[in-house]
Structure formats: C-alpha cells, structure tokens
Chains A and B, each alone.
Chain A
Amino acid sequence: MSERPRIPPKAYARAAAAGLGGVVLLVLPFYLERFWLQAGLFAMAAAIGAIGINLLTGATGQLSMGHAFFLAVGAYGYCALAGDGTDGLAGLGLPGWLAAVLAVGLAGLAGGVFSPIAGRLHGAYLGIATLALIFIGQHVLFNAHDLTGGYNGRAVPPLNLLGLTFDDSELLVAQVPFGAVEKLWYLGLALLLAGVLFARGVLRGRPGRAMNAIRDHRIAAGVMGIPVARHRAAVFVLSSMYAGLAGVLLALVFQRTVPEYFGMALSLEYLAMIVIGGLGSVAGAVAGGIFVALLPQVLNRYAEALPLVSAPGTGGIAPGEAARYLYGAAVVGTVLFLPGGLARLVARTPIHRPSGETR
C-alpha cells in the first residue's frame, strides 16, 4: 500500500491563515474608518510600485532612481486620456477603464523609449541617469500647463466600471455608506493580487532566472546565450508599467494630481521599500511597500501615545521626524542585521518535510 504523500499540517495552517486574511481584507471597508482605508490604499499603490522596481533593481540589478517619473506618466496619462476637457485642459474623454489601461501602456512605452539609454549604462551611471528622468518630469509637469495643469495639477476623472462610479457619491451596502475609498479598496485589492501573481509568474519562470543571471553575472549570462539587452529593456518596460498602474491608483485616491509629489523623494522611498522588504522577492516588495507607506501614518496618528514623540507644537521630536528616523534606521538596519529583508524573516520558519527532515 503506497501512502499518499501527506500534506504537512503547516501548509494547511498557512492556507487557512491566508484564506482568513483574505476574508478579513474583504470586509474591512465595513468597519474601518476612512483614514485607515485611505492609508491602506496608499499602501496598496506603494506595493504595486514596489513590485515593479523590485523586478528592475532587485531581480535584474538595474539601479533606477526614476521610478517616480513613470508613476507620474501613469497618473497624468490617465487624467489626460479620461478627461473631458471641461477644466480647460487637454483630454480625450475616453471611458475610465480604457484610459487606465492605456495609461499603463503609456508608462510602459515611456520605459521602452528610455530603455536603449538604460541599456548602455550600468551601476551608478544608470542610477543617476534615471535621476535625470525625475527632473525632466518635474519640469514638464510644472511647465506644460495645457496638458498637466502646471502647478495646479489636474482633477482626476473618477473611474467608471460596470456601471459603478468610484467617486464619493454615496452607495449604501449593508447599511454602510460607501464612498470613494471604500469602493476603490476592492479595486486596489484586485489590482494588487493581479500584480503579485503576474510578477510571481515572471520571476519563477525562465525570464526570472534570466533576470537573476543578468544581475549576478552579466557577462557570463551573455556568453550563455541570454539576450541581455533584450531582457534588460523588457524588464524596464514591465517595471514602468507597474509604476504606471500604481500611478493610476494613486490618482484615483487623491482625486487631484499634485506635481510636487512625483519627485526624487518618492523614488528613494521605493528603493527603501524593496531593501526593507527583501530584494528580488515579490512578497518582500509588498511587505516593504506596506511598511514604508503605513509607518508615517501610524506615527502621526498616535503621536501622543508614543514615548519620546511629542505632539506638534510642543517641542521635542515631532512625529514627522520620528517617522523619518525609523524609516532611515529601517533601511540601514535591514541591510546590517536582516540581509534578506522582511521576506527572509518570514521564510525562516522551518518547513517540515514528510520524511521528517526540516529545512
């Protein structure tokens, strides 16, 4: 009698936990106040963007400081494509879902246009060349008034999907009033899930192995027959598309674009996210994104309760400063003490194999 391989109990516990977590996420809009839902949406957008930069920098080793530029392309692209021109700015008036898809494509196209330049550069040279993208982006955002609204930004047209408009018009679901954040919550979850699954698929398959080979031994990879330039360009495009998607989601949450937002500090935040979460891992990128996005919100909210941190206007360390200390310390500390990031921390729990060996 051959014994059917026993699925280890830990796997059931994991699946059950995941299922429970999923259910909790689905009912949260019915219980949480808007502040937390909005923070959660920021975290989701950050996670999506982090997955993108992770594919580029973590998996393929191309340091890019221009991620915020592609976020801007996604956000402003959506506004330009979906806008109906009533605010005096350029708009094509396309339906929301189509505009969103095309905006993501536009971000990918922008990535494609930059990728030949990126292909010629390596290491720090690439990093700072991508910084040029940020400055170009800011210049265009502030000066191309007819397209971007200049310093005023643009109003973001609400998304209309299957008859449901994701704006603040109230919708009663089980007696709970649903505004924009509650409706966008589900959209965000769906997009994040799709993004995670796709990235996982890419990283676990042949492209992922090729990318890692390019990161670790670029020349050897080329010698082995991996088309290095093509892969590098393709990852740039893919990572830009993720950034564009994050940009669209952020635009929908903000309801108005703010040009100052898409600056160097945002790019650096994404780099910090993937280091804290663990380079090269999708789960790590998501964890890092959530951590970096939620940390300042939590600290600001609970400033009074924390020791050392004082409420604004009373001297001492302000919550904003405390958040930055923690953030910087997290980046440095992760590399020093936790080299694989948060992802490695979770993966350290040993898995029991049927034959009794532990890994």
Chain B
Amino acid sequence: MNHRRQAVRGLAAALATLVALTAAGCSSKAKSGDAKETGAGGVKMGEGVTDTTITLGALTDMTGVYATLGKSVTQAQQLWVKQTNAAGGICDRKLELTVRDHGYDPQKALAAYTELEPKVVGYAQFIGSPFVAAVKQRVDGQDKGLVMPQAWSASLLGSPYIRVLGATYDVETINAVDFLVTEKGLRKGDKLGHVYFEGDYGENALKGSKYAAGQAGLTVVEQKIKPTDNDMSAQVAALKQAGVKAVLVSAGPRQAASLVGVAAATGLRVPVVGNNSAFAPQLLGTQAGPALEKMYWFASPSLPIGADTPVAKKLAADYAAAYPEDGLDNGVVAGWTAATAFGEILKKACEKGDLTREGVSKALLILNAHDPGFGMTHDFTDPKSPSSRQSVIIQPDKKAAGGMRTVREPFVSEAAKSYTF
C-alpha cells in the first residue's frame, strides 16, 4: 500500500510542477518580446549575429555522392573565413562557419537545416538541390535567411533568399551549344546527342539544349542515365546509331570519362561538351585521360582555378599551402566565390547598419556588380534571374594548373540572352 501511495504522490507532484512551470512561461522558448537588439557599432543584430561574431552555416556532403564537391567547397570556405578573420573580420566581428555533413540524406539535410536555422545569419553552402527545394517553402515563408546553394538548377530561381551564383544549367548548356556551333562545326540539321542525369541537374540542362537546338536547327537525341550508371557503352552505341555530330553530357565526372573513353575507342570521334559538374582533375589519371584532352570540353560558370587572374593565382597558392594533399578543382572556386559574395553582402549590410536577415537581403538586392575575381560580374538585383548568364569553356590539360585551361573567355551567347525561364 505504501508503494502505491508513494507512487501516486510522486506522480502527482511531478505533474503539478511541470504544469506550473509551463503555465508560468518558464521556458527558454517563451517569447519575451520582439526586441531587435542593437549591438556593437550601432548595428542592428538578428539571428547568427552577436557583438563579437557573425555565424554562417554550411550544409555539405562529405560522405555521400557529392563528397568531392563538398570537401573542396568546405575547405575553400574555411580558408576564406580564416583569411578574413586574420584581416580583421567583417563589421568588427569575427566570422564563424558552422559545418554540418548531411551525407546526401534528406532527413539529415532537413535536420541540419533546422538545427542551424536559429543560429546563423544564412548559409554560404548548401549542397543537394532536392534539399534546397525541400526547405524553400520555409526559407521564403518564415526563416528568410540567405542561402547560396552549390547547385545551378533553374528550379531554385524565384526566391529572394535562395540565390544561385552563376549561370544555371539550362543557360550554361545553351552557351555550350553555341560553342559547338560556332567553333566545332555543328550545322543546321545535325543531330546533337545529350546524355543527362535523372534529376533537376540533367533535366534542367535538357531544357536548355532543346531550346538551343530549336534556335540553331538541330535535333536532340536524348539518353537519360542514373547517377549510379558508370558504363556508357550502350549510350554511345545508341548515339552512334543515331548519327550524332556532337554530344552534350550533363552528368558527373565518371560518366563523362566513360562516355569519352568509349566514344574514342569505338570510333564516335565527335566533340563532347559537359556541364560544370562533369569534370574532375582526377580523371586525367585514368585511362580516359588522353581522350579527354583531345575531344572533351566543359562549360563553367566561372574561370577555372588555374586561371591567370591575381585572385585565382593567390587562391590556388593559398589552398595548396593549407591543404597540400587535396587537389585543386572547380569546387574550390565555387566555394570561394560563394563565400566572398556573402562577405560582400555582409559588408554592405553593415554599412547600412542592419545585420538582421532583412538587412542582409536588402543589401543583396542592391548588389549589382560583384566581381569575385574569376572573370564574371554578378548581378543580384533580380531574384528571378541567375546572377550571371556567362559561361567559360574549359579544356582538360594535364600540364596546366588544376588540370584544365580556358579555351573561351566568359561569354553569353545570343540564344542565352533571349532565353526566358
């Protein structure tokens, strides 16, 4: 009997305490008023900003499908944070980059976003466009933190808070087709093969290639593949049978290497152009290396890491010094440009005295000529457009720095200028 009474008493006491505490609003979550604090330097502060630090979030993939990209982008951004802090920080505050690895798992990506959301001003890195699409509603609806994804899909356009840095895949593909037509002898009436990934990357690029083909009088021969496909023999055989005069590849580096290698070996010696995610310097060491140097080009939203600009040279040197075992690739450029753009926006917001999320997005909307030193100027004033429509055409070259050299400087083709999303 005693046990029973004790148990009931204890339970009742606990219950009462908890209810009382809750009703009294004794919870750290309870709203205590909407005071937006003004902090050091007379600057209004919001999430992720204190008197001494500004925190940025990075949602990356270091262990999943995009591990190569994730590693380069993260390390480049960590390097930028270190250098900026050494130079005094931004707005008299030190920068901090909180990195979370979601391993390309939707649940982990959402959890990481939710975890960091109250603690950061915005996200300088967000890999995985399906996940960005998944949180778009939250970002536009109530969170309003600036997100700079490393995914160039046009489906991400249209939000003032999610800003893609550089030409989207469809625009990039249109520019690539222009390169093929003007420099690689593709003529009206020819067939153009397009091997593309299932998903927004490939299908967005396909939209671009179909538009460009329509403008130039070409026919597109499609071959959809999955990211797990590594052997392109069947695709090459089908394209050969269709009699294509050039091939576009909107897939990953491995698929591009397999495609080019098989094409070269089986006699389909036509120019192959890939999108920016379809090359990695490691490929030059594989069997497809020689073929890649002869018949492969790829488009990119910025100059490569081995470019001849002072910023590129300094970045290459600093990155190699900080991470001597990791190769230089365009992921480093992508991470760096996103970080510097974010830094630029924060500086402008600081000048205006408002480091809240609204202040940051206001500063973003007036930034119309940001040049991170990689050949492009970015214009963020229109959320419905990407920040630039320019592309660079790059050719793999074992002897060049970063394994690649620029073949055509930043340009926008006529078709890309007239393209609407």
Contact flag (A, B; Cβ within 8 A): yes
- Give me the interface of A with B, judged by CB distance under 8 Å: 7, 9, 12-13, 15-16, 19-20, 23-24, 27, 30-31, 33-35, 38-39, 42, 142, 150-153, 155, 168, 172, 174-177, 179, 181, 254-256, 258-261, 265, 293, 296-297, 300-301, 311-313, 318-321, 324
Contact partner, A175, options B30, B105, B111, B118, Cβ 8 Å: B30
Known: A33-B29, A176-B25, A312-B62. A39 touches B111 (CB 8 A): yes
CA gap between A151 and B156 in the complex, in Å: 13
A13 adjacent to B7 (CB under 8 Å): yes
- Give me the interface of B with A, judged by CB distance under 8 Å: 3-4, 7-8, 10-11, 14-15, 18-19, 22-23, 25, 27-31, 60, 62-64, 71, 74-75, 78, 99-103, 105-108, 110-112, 114-115, 117-118, 130-131, 133-138, 141-142, 155, 198-200, 203
A313 adjacent to B23 (CB under 8 Å): no
CA gap between A273 and B294 in the complex, in Å: 51
A256 adjacent to B133 (CB under 8 Å): yes
Q: List 11 additional A-B contacts (Cβ < 8 Å) besides A151-B130, A153-B133, A324-B63.
A: A12-B4, A16-B11, A23-B15, A31-B29, A38-B111, A142-B198, A152-B133, A175-B25, A254-B134, A256-B137, A265-B105
**B77, chain A: closest CB distance, angstroms:** 9
B115 adjacent to A35 (CB under 8 Å): yes
A320 adjacent to B101 (CB under 8 Å): yes
Chain A to chain B: the 9 pairs with minimum beta-carbon distance, closest first: A35-B115, A16-B7, A320-B63, A175-B25, A320-B103, A9-B3, A312-B101, A256-B134, A313-B74
B99 adjacent to A311 (CB under 8 Å): yes
B18 adjacent to A27 (CB under 8 Å): yes
Known: A12-B3, A20-B11. A33 touches B118 (CB 8 A): yes
Q: B74 to chain A: which residues have CB within 8 Å?
A: 312-313
CA gap between A38 and B62 in the complex, in Å: 23
CA gap between A5 and B80 in the complex, in Å: 73
Q: A258 to chain B: which residues have CB within 8 Å?
A: 106, 130-131, 133-134
Q: B71 to chain A: which residues have CB within 8 Å?
A: 313
Most chain B CB within a 10 A radius of its CB, from A175, A297, A311 = A175
Q: B112 to chain A: which residues have CB within 8 Å?
A: 300
22 A–B contacts from the bound complex (CB under 8 Å): A9-B3, A20-B11, A27-B19, A27-B22, A30-B27, A39-B111, A42-B111, A151-B130, A151-B198, A176-B29, A256-B133, A261-B106, A293-B107, A297-B108, A300-B100, A300-B108, A312-B60, A312-B62, A312-B74, A312-B101, A313-B78, A324-B63
Known: A24-B18, A27-B22, A256-B134. A42 touches B107 (CB 8 A): yes
Q: B101 to chain A: which residues have CB within 8 Å?
A: 300, 312, 318-320
CA gap between A41 and B320 in the complex, in Å: 44
